[in-house]
Amino acid sequence: MTAYMDHKDLANEVIDQARAQEIADGVHKVLDGIAQAEAAAGREAGSVKLLAATKTRDVGEIMAAIDAGIHMIGENRPQEVVVKAPGLTRLLAERGIALGVGGDDAVAEAGAGAAATDHIPFHLIGQLQSNKIGKVLPVVNTIESVDSIELAEKIARRATMHGVTVGVLLEVNESGEESKSGCAPSHAIDLAKRIGAMGGLELQGLMTIGAHVNDERVIRAGFAHLRRTRDQILASGAEGTANCKELSMGMTQDMAYAIEEGSTIVRVGTAIFGARAFI
């Protein structure tokens, strides 16, 4: 259990009106920023999806974001997925919205008044230790942090056992920073082809975390390289790579650069919810 989880009840469902308004303002600001960046880059409106990075936020805060227009969420830690999923699933079912895997059942239980009209994909965006795979598989649609054949094989084995298909993004360490997870850029194409060929997984794209520097050119070069890698994987025609389309790149600080370089999913936390009180 991570220390901050002792300080904050992440299953809490009730937040005050001022906090809900703050979050709604954050969502609207980020959606406006995405629309502006799409226009500036000459990209189609709506071509970039916004994933709310919800680590350290409680169920009430996440619901406020969803009520303000968030359609996709991502957690870093399996334990946070486990703690928040039941409350989120139930509150969303009341609104006719299914969450992650298995949200459809909850909507059915919520009764006829709650026919599912919408679905909120649930992603895991943080490192996954293999002993936690079983915790997240019943809940998350896509694991964005797959960076080795060993991890992919373990997820594939579990998924096959459960008779499900799990979406995966291959995480690439484009910046080369040692603190970051992700495979080496030079291995990405080979790994993607091998993951694509595994049963139980659907390779949906690539993910990276932007370089932690102040140099725009360096940050953009990493994003552009991820895009070219994705294009090469798609062009290879290799088995199981036809859906390798997503580029999950761009966070609060570098979202606009990422959108200019072709991002299809931006993962934003701070600009929606404010600064994190816990790491």
Ligand X SMILES: *Cc1c(COP(=O)(O)O)cnc(C)c1O
Instruction: List residues binding ligand X (CB under 6 A).
Output: 53, 55, 76, 125-126, 209, 251-253, 267-271
Determine the straight-line distance between the first and last CA of the chain, rounded to whole angstroms: 14
Q: Closest CB to ligand X among 98 and 209?
A: 209
* Sign of the torsion angle spanned by Cα atoms 231, 235, 236, 240: positive
Closest approach of ligand X to the CB of residue 275, in Å: 8
If you search the block for the tokens 């520097």, which residue do you land on?
213
Closest approach of ligand X to the CB of residue 251, in Å: 4
Beta strand 49-53 with 265-268 is parallel
Q: Closest CB to ligand X among 96 and 274?
A: 274
Q: Closest CB to ligand X among 33 and 185?
A: 33
Closest approach of ligand X to the CB of residue 219, in Å: 13
CB-based contacts of 53, cutoff 8 Å, min separation 6: 74, 76, 125, 251, 267, 268, 269
Give the residue at shortest CB distance from ligand X. 269
- 275 token code pair: 């600064």
Q: Closest CB to ligand X among 227 and 267?
A: 267
Q: Closest CB to ligand X among 55 and 135?
A: 55
Closest approach of ligand X to the CB of residue 262, in Å: 17
Closest approach of ligand X to the CB of residue 253, in Å: 6
Kind plus residue range of the DSSP H or E element containing 93: helix 78-94
Give CA 166 to chain center in angstroms: 13
Q: Closest CB to ligand X among 182 and 185?
A: 182
Enumerate long-range contacts of 223-228, CB under 8 Å, 24 or more apart. 223/174, 223/247, 223/249, 223/250, 223/254, 223/257, 223/258, 223/261, 223/262, 223/263, 224/261, 224/262, 225/174, 225/185, 226/172, 226/174, 226/261, 227/261, 227/262
Closest approach of ligand X to the CB of residue 265, in Å: 10
